[in-house]
Amino acid sequence: METGPAASLCELQPLRIGDFSPAAPIVLAPMAGVTNAAFRSLCRSFGPDLIYVNEMVMAAAVLHRNGKTSRMMTFGADEHPRSLQIYGSDPATLAGAVRLLCEEDLVDHIDLNFGCPAAKVTRRGGGAAVPARPRVLSAILRAAVGAASPYGVPVTAKFRMGLTDDVLTHIQTGQICADEGVAWIALHARTAEQHYAGSARWDAIGELKSAVNGIPVLGNGDIWEASDAVEMMAATGCDGVVIGRGCLGRPWLFGDLRQALSGGEVPAPRRLGEVCAVMSTHARLLADHYEGAPDDRDPPSRRRRALVPEGVSAAENRAMRDFRKHTSWYLTGYPVGPQVRREMAMVSSVAELNEMIMRLDPDVEMVPGGERITRGHSNGPIRVALPDGYLEDLDSCEIPDDDEVMALSGG
């Protein structure tokens, strides 16, 4: 009998979006300010035919046709499926936003966020706070699935283990999702209190898989290398993986994951020259992404205008300001020195980036264990902010005000 990753993949509950089945059960997690069209295009070049989710948008902002939100919902001309994560706590608002997205054929797949631990969201009863109140959760899910179903658009959900170790909700949440017609569920195996600290508790993914029948269960948390995905799936029995921080500065991880899950050989860590070539491509994709897109920030000050290099367009300058955070992630694990990191963190044009790259030794190798160095958020634990008395009446069906949350979130 065949054994190993290739055999186990045949036994998984398949992920489907309409008539689309991904080449492997791998999903890019939506990350604010990261998983825009440029980054997704880069990831797709390494791992085609997978599921790549756009960064989260707010249902209220979609329904109000907020300009910034509309521009965030950008997909490549060749991108399929078009997956979008949406956040909302009011069933009517969420249903309206989902209906608009489907009627106007803007998406092929909608993912719901029930895991956001940000204080400005949870203190209004939204995000990671929603699953603690099952009646509210059921109403939201029923509204979203009901609005999307006539258009054949599947709805999925991503959530955490719970608010704290004393308020664990992942099993109940998964069962409610299954009852309400959700296509698949993904568990970030941390609590909201844990935030991004410590290790993801993969055993919770296994518990969820054992407790929920009929829909695929995906695992999320601490997949830094392709071998981690194989290990997670073997240890928990989950049907697929969701990749977040592990792909920051490592967009080729999706190709490595496809190789690993099919039983193929995964390439060794890339040399610095290969990394720099991807950096240059990413920067150019971002510049193209911002070309023609209005700048939604406050009007630039005289000092900021003076800092734009001569011959650099506003779009490219804006793209490079966005790209600066990526330089740290790309260089993580490579002994390039603090001066290079500082210069990269101030880069202002693609040409300047390429000049910096030319000064680096392309044969430099990653330090041992470099792929496992944390990239992105690492803070925690945190105190979970909740409305007064929130945990005293978990049977309540009181709905948070999405317009207030949108204002607090700068949406």
With the C-alpha atoms ordered 370, 372, 377, 383, is the resulting torsion angle positive or negative?
negative
Catalytic annotation present for 116: yes
Kindly give the parts of the chain with pLDDT less than 70: 1-11, 292, 294-308, 399-411
Residue pLDDT, tens place only, 173-193? 999 999 999 999 999 999 999
| Distance in angstroms (rounded) separating the CA atoms of residues 27 and 241 | 6
Q: How many alpha carbons fall within 13 Å on the CB side of residue 363?
A: 0
**Which of 277, 278, 300 minimizes the C-alpha distance to 358?**
277
| Distance in angstroms (rounded) separating the CA atoms of residues 399 and 190 | 25
Q: Which residue has the tokens 């569920």?
A: 185
| Token pair recorded at residue 128 | 């990671």
Single pTM value for the model: 0.92
**Amino acid at residue number 411:** G
**Which of 61, 73, 49, 84 minimizes the C-alpha distance to 257?**
49
Which phi and psi (to 5°) does residue 217 adopt? -120, 125
| Distance in angstroms (rounded) separating the CA atoms of residues 42 and 57 | 21
Contacts of 228 (CB under 8 A, 6+ apart): 222, 246
Per CATH, domain 5-268+383-398 is 3.20.20.70: yes
Classify each residue of 226-248 as buried b or exposed e, where b means 16 or more C-beta atoms within 10 Å of its C-beta. Answer: bebbbebbeebbbbbbbbbbbbb
| Distance in angstroms (rounded) separating the CA atoms of residues 124 and 120 | 7
- Catalytic choice (43, 116, 177, 276): 116
| Distance in angstroms (rounded) separating the CA atoms of residues 279 and 353 | 9
Domain-by-domain residue ranges, the chain? 5-268+383-398, 272-365
- The pLDDT of residue 9 is 53
CB–CB of 168/131 below 8 Å? no
Which phi and psi (to 5°) does residue 286 adopt? -65, -40
**Which of 216, 124, 199 minimizes the C-alpha distance to 161?**
199
**Which of 185, 187, 112 minimizes the C-alpha distance to 148?**
112
| Token pair recorded at residue 105 | 């054929």
